[in-house]
Amino acid sequence: MPIAEIQTIDELISYLSGSFRFCDLKYCDLIGRWHHITVPTSGAGLESLRTGIGFDGSSVPGFTRLERGDMILRPDPGTAFIDPFYEEPTLSVICDCLLCDTNEPFERDPRHIARKAEAFLRGFGEADEAFWLPELEFNVVSGASYYDESYGSGYTLRAMGSRSVLSSLGEEGIDLGLGPKAGYHALPPMDQLAQLRTEMVKSMEDAGISVRYHHHEVGADGQVEIECLFSTLQKTADNILTAKYLIRNIARESGHVAVFLPKPFFGEAGNGMHFHQYLRKGGEPVFYQEGNYADLSDVALHYIGGILRHGRSLLAFTNPSTNSYKRLVPGYEAPTNLFFSSGNRSAAIRIPLYANTPETKCMEFRPGDATMNPYLAMAAMLMAGLDGIKNKIDPTAEGFGPIDLNITKMSPQELSKITPVPKDLDEALQAVEDDHDYLLAGGVFPEDSIDVWVNHKLENDVKALGRRTHPYEVALYFDL
């Protein structure tokens, strides 16, 4: 049986028993990190896949309390892929998280929330399927180190490809370096990472992830992009975590480091994770209507209206790190205001000009980045859009555009009429506390998941960073 046809536990066990020594079970915590446990296929190992593997949920960020820690991992057979990073033949499978006493889905399992969002859409009426295309932007560096101690903190990223960095390091071949913001679609030998990206894409395709293309991005410091093809919500989220796993390990094997931070380098373009998205009903696209603005249907416009109305709270999930807001600053094509436009890359929502047929018509949400938990972020975007459809939110009437101008040339008075994105994570978390009823519709997001998310991010990100001395503070104030 081809691996792509595995659908049941019995088929998974049969496939494993033939050629594999181990099965690696991967699962996602609330914050968006993968964890894993490895099961041998000998002895009782295979049968344990049928009954589920116990684990301590109280040790997983955002999961259960210590006194209710016992949980179960249940493999999702349709997610299996051959793991290329083990010496012994190993099959990786993504798992769902279940309650130990009832075998019911754990309500805060991110995959379960994504699955509930898709189920909510199927019963919605105006559409029954959502499709997503993510752009994976990241930097490849030749070395990375960081430390956080009571006596000091700091980090070093050894950038690749930047002419100024190569020159300062005294490396040979500095004439091949790229100038600031000059990396977009650079050709080898200026693009030093083309072969490495090819290896990454081959590994992604071997794991069942369809890729549209890859290229060097604007940043001279080894910034690259791999763009996937459209898939369904949960499958896309699975693909994102699988791709990040593959990309990081292939980079490591080649002596490099893949960095998905939104803003790793001051003065260079940051890394986003843009999401192209559209809806279907009965297999037919519903975002196209000739004659409307950008040939968008009323359903599409209302979907956009919902995302923009809830945009400030959405960023608590799509941009959930303090570093996210270092990227969302003027001058680097990152959106700083909530509006929509056709072909305008400063817009939070861009309507691609090339998407000009009923089958290709889509919208692109541009603020997000790879520090998100993709299950939660996409579920939240979908719920915001569906709220817009349900309430017929007109983005123009709400003041969200369209704006087909270069907003950097607008006057302060004109800019003041446009809703800005949150200036930092603290502001985004306050926004989702104030505006999250749309996430609770249909029981998609459990209300306690909002509280857990906000409290975790406040304590472990916002407040934790605020209590620490920043290296730049030392540079600013050391001699005062």
| Measured distance CA(423)–CA(432) in Å, rounded | 14
Q: Write out the CATH class of domain 3-106.
A: alpha beta
pLDDT profile of the chain (480 residues), mean per 10: 89 91 96 95 84 89 69 95 96 95 91 97 94 97 89 86 59 64 84 95 97 92 95 98 98 96 92 97 96 96 98 98 95 88 89 94 97 98 98 97 83 87 98 98 94 95 93 90
Residue pair 299/130 in contact (Cβ under 8 Å)? The answer is no
Q: Which residues are catalytic?
A: 56, 135, 137, 217, 225, 274, 345, 364, 366
Q: Which 8-state DSSP code applies to residue 361?
A: -
Query: According to the model, what pLDDT value does residue 332 have?
Result: 77
Task: Give the containing element (helix H, strand E) for 415.
Answer: helix 412-415
Query: In residues, how long is the chain?
Result: 480
pLDDT of residue 161: 67
263-282 pLDDT, tens digit each: 999 988 899 999 999 999 99
Specify the 3-state DSSP secondary structure of 90. strand
CB atoms within 10 A of CB 477: 9
The stretches of 28-134 forming alpha helices (DSSP H) are 45-51, 110-122
Amino acid at 345: R
Residues of the chain with CATH 3.10.20.70: 3-106
CB contact set of 415 (below 8 Å; sequence gap of 6+):
337, 407
Report d(CA 450, CA 317) in Å as an integer: 10
Q: In this structure, are residues 426 and 324 in contact, taking their beta carbons and an 8 Å threshold?
A: no
Give the integer Cα–Cα distance in Å for 165 and 439. 45
d(C-alpha 247, C-alpha 17), whole Å: 28
Question: CATH 3.30.590.10 residue ranges in the chain?
Answer: 129-477
CATH superfamily of 129-477: Glutamine synthetase/guanido kinase, catalytic domain (3.30.590.10)
| Residue whose entry in the numeric block shows the structure tokens 């049941």 | 8
Six token digits for residue 245: 């796993």
> Is residue 203 helix, strand or coil?
helix
- Residue ranges of E strands in 41-125: 53-56, 70-75, 81-82, 90-99
Neighbours of 479 (CB within 10 A): 5
Rounded to a whole number of angstroms, the distance between the first and last alpha carbons of the chain is 71
CA distance 459 to 147: 20
pTM: 0.94
Residue 27 and residue 2: Cα distance in Å, rounded? 23
For residue 402, say if its preceding peptide bond is cis, omega within 30 degrees of 0: yes
